[in-house]
Amino acid sequence: MPGFSSTIYFPGLPDVTADLNAPAIATTLTAALFVLAMGISPVFWASLSDFYELRRFLFLCSMIIFAAASIGCAFVTNIWALVVLRCVQSVGSSCGQSVGAGVVADCYPVERRGAAFGKYFFGVFFGPLLGPIIGGFLIMSSLTWRATFWFCFAFGLFVFVLLFFAFPETYRINSKFDLVLPIAQLTKKAYTSSAETIGQPADGGDEAANKKETIESITISEEKNKEQSLPSSSSSEKKKNMNPIAPFFLLKHPFILLAAVASGIAFGCMFAVETITPDLYEVNYGFNSWKTGLSYLGGGVGNLLGAVVSSQTSDRLLLRARQRRGGQEIVEDRLSVTLWPAFFVFLPFGLLLFGWTIVYRYSVWASIIGFGAVNFGMNLVMTSTSAYLVDALPGQGASITAAANLVRMVFACVLTIAANPMVASIGAGRKSRRDSDDEKYESSRKRSRISELSKKNINSIDEDDYFEKATEFRLWLKEYKDVYFDELSSKDARRYFKKFIKKWNRYELDEKYYKGLSSAQLDSSDSTRYKWSFAKNLDKMEMNSIRDSVDSLTSQSRGDDKIKMIGKRRNVGPSLPDTVDREDEYEKHRAERKYEARRKKDRREAMLDEVAPREIGREAQLLKKRALNAYHKRERSPDVELSEADLMGGDDFQARLAAERRRNEIRDARRAERNEQRLAPILNKMDEFKAKENATMEMFKRMAEEQKRKGNY
């Protein structure tokens, strides 16, 4: 439950940031403080469980708190309120972190406790991987990220009903399984126990006889001559006062602290990778919410394999060590073959594979396999260390698990807060030293060039300055490339101009290019025929003379009059530009306007940066994601987005309808009046024409009647 609820909304973290207009650190705190509360609150649940000697009632109370906090998160409108409610939700969900381990200790003997803890931790750590998968699909609904908390509310109610009707009270004061196992101290002292007592099964006979223990006296070091003892583990001792922070004091024992730190490092690495996965997959692979959720399946597979392997290996190692020592055993036998491969093979290999494959944009499957290796190694560590701690202090399973859980969650909280800033500053993986040195060298050279230009008060240029730097470009072609501009094609001219841009921005040209060209230099440049689209008058006269000579050779059949006209051209002077010249002039003016607009925009942005500096790094990425989410939200909407007031006309819909009818009536009346005024002359002419036609017809009728009377018909 705690792991599931902590990560179910991870695929929607960018949506949370955009929807609540929250800073990046606040969104990270919703996950980091949840983990921290998940480490602190089990200590108090464990103290309550050990003091009042109950399990079931605490589970029911925790589910009520979890469901109430989930429904509050679904309605929240402020990021800081979400942070607080997430902490409350963590308190409600974390009862199983410590009390659940006590239930396992209540129900399983030592020989079966490793497998039981494997199953227990499979559920504990499969939850953080199942959460993003379900959350990815829930976020795709209309409720977006809030749907995840509605699901948590329903899931909490379901678990409450299930616990109420199907879960019995498991707490036992004198459990038949609480056998004190020997513990190997760091000073190489060994606490041994009777093999006959531990290995003898409970067969329903005399239970007290089957449980009889023989604990050998503790070997005391001659150098120290001081008795050392472990915390009392007698569960029958009467508890007079409840101390909520008593589990914290268990960490003073080295064997407990070292096991807790080992599990904390493994769990913190896994949780940090979980936190940064959504942003990395969205930026590098373009994954949406449900694809990001499905990517966590690799971690689930690694978790499943780790639970199976660790649960079977832990118990087998314990039994094999017992046989090898002739029936005697130490609880550290659970750790011998699990911690070494986990910390030296699976965890570093998985982390490096996950980070480097994302940095170099390799297949996403490689990073998923790396995440699975991290979870496999983490489960090896968690299962073995948890079973070891419960066996080390029988009767205090809930308290010692809560203390170790606190260390784990502190590591997870710190690494979660540090993960995103680390990724934003150095990336997901470390590049080679050579690449890093090359990048530093190039960046230093670039900074030196920019600083040199800024000292000279010179602006850098780009391809949009093609017409702005035309004169300098023409002179550069003459002096450096010995190429005539009018001999170049458009493609070659652009190619040369890109080289000119690099030389300019690197401050590798002569000083005269940056200070401004004199008239003599401009005349020298003009004489080289480097014009954008106009030729010199001298060139025109030369071309005309050549054309005249060709005409004189090819136009002999046109007669003397024609020959005499050859070579007579109009005087050289101003003329109207042709189509090509007009297009070039238009292009030049358009580029100048574009250049001025861009300069104004740069100056405006510079002034804004002085007043309110723009966001950089992760903040800039979040702003970009927020704008992209808003764009996709508009694109997904089938209709135009209008406010309710614009769409329905405010509060009084009937009044708006009446006003609309009045406007339509006035518009129709004005339209009819305009039509009448426009058609009036036409109608008058039609009436006059009809009157003339009627008069003509009457005249024809009278003439016909006259002819009829005269007898002509």
* Contact yes or no for 121/386 (Cβ under 8 A): yes
Q: What is the DSSP letter of 190?
A: -
250-256's contacts with Cβ under 8 Å and 24+ in sequence apart are: 250/393, 250/396, 250/399, 250/400, 250/403, 251/403, 251/407, 254/185, 254/186, 255/183, 255/185, 255/186, 255/392, 256/389, 256/392, 256/393, 256/400, 256/403, 256/404
Cβ neighbours of residue 384 closer than 8 Å, sequence gap 6 or more: 114, 310, 313, 314, 334, 335, 338, 339
Q: CB–CB of 453/507 below 8 Å?
A: yes
Using a 10 angstrom Cβ sphere, with 0-12 exposed, 13-18 middle and 19 or more buried, the burial of residue 276 is buried
- Cβ–Cβ under 8 Å, residues 371 and 2: no
Cα separation of 152 and 5, whole Å?
Answer: 7
- pLDDT > 60? residue 100: yes
- Straight-line distance from the first to the last Cα atom of the chain, in angstroms, rounded to the nearest whole number: 118
* pLDDT tens per residue, range 158-189: 988 888 888 877 766 544 444 444 444 433 33
> Looking at residues 232-249, what average pLDDT do you find?
55
Q: How many CA atoms lie within 13 A of 280 on its CB side?
A: 28
Rounded CA separation 111/199 (Å): 8
Reading the block at residue 218, the tokens are: 């503790």
- Contact between 84 and 69 under an 8 Å Cβ cutoff? The reply is no
DSSP track, 192-242: -B-HHHHHS---SS-HHHHT---BPPPPPPTTT-----PPP--TTSPP-S-
Higher pLDDT, 241 or 469: 469
Write the DSSP symbol of residue 643: -
Contact between 235 and 173 under an 8 Å Cβ cutoff? The reply is: yes
pLDDT for residue 502 is more than 60: yes
pLDDT number for residue 665: 92
Residues, the chain, total?
713
For residue 604, give the amino acid letter: R
How far is 211 from 683, CA to CA, in rounded Å? 121
**CA atoms within 13 Å, Cβ hemisphere of 669:** 6
Mean pLDDT of 685-713: 87
Report the pLDDT averaged over residues 93-104: 77
The model's confidence at residue 439, banded by pLDDT at 50, 70 and 90, is low
Q: 369-415 pLDDT, tens per residue?
A: 888 888 888 878 877 777 777 777 766 666 777 778 778 878 877 88
Query: Is there a contact between 169 and 53 (Cβ–Cβ < 8 Å)?
Result: no
Question: Any idea where the domains of the chain sit in the sequence?
Answer: 2-178+242-426, 445-611
The residue behind tokens 């339509």 is: 664
The stretch 82-108 carries a mean pLDDT of 81
Residue 250 or 201, more confident:
250
- DSSP H helices in 76-206: 79-93, 95-107, 110-139, 146-166, 195-199
- Segment 662-691, tens digit of pLDDT: 989 998 998 898 888 888 888 888 999 999
pLDDT at 198: 34
Q: Minimal CA–CA distance to 73: which of 132, 8, 21, 127?
A: 8
Identify the CA nearest to 253 among candidates 232, 239, 274. 232
Q: How far apart are CA 275 and CA 271, in angstroms?
A: 6
Three-point CA angle 45, 335, 186, nearest 5°? 90
Cα–Cα distance for residue pair 657/171, rounded to 1 Å: 71
**Ranges 290-304, 434-448, 593-607, 616-630: which has the least confidence:** 434-448
User: What is the reported pLDDT for 122?
Assistant: 66
**% of the chain beyond a pLDDT of 70:** 67
**CATH number listed for the domain at residues 2-178+242-426:** 1.20.1250.20
In the predicted model, is pLDDT for residue 426 greater than 70?
A: no
Q: Which residue has the higher pLDDT, 600 or 646?
A: 600
CA 102, CA 93: separation in Å to the nearest integer?
A: 16
The whole-number pLDDT of residue 706 equals 86
pLDDT tens column, 523-562? 554 444 444 444 445 455 555 666 566 555 554 444 444 4
Average model confidence (pLDDT) for the chain?
71
pLDDT at 644: 58
What single-letter DSSP state applies at residue 344? I
Give bridge partners of residue 702 from the DSSP assignment.
none
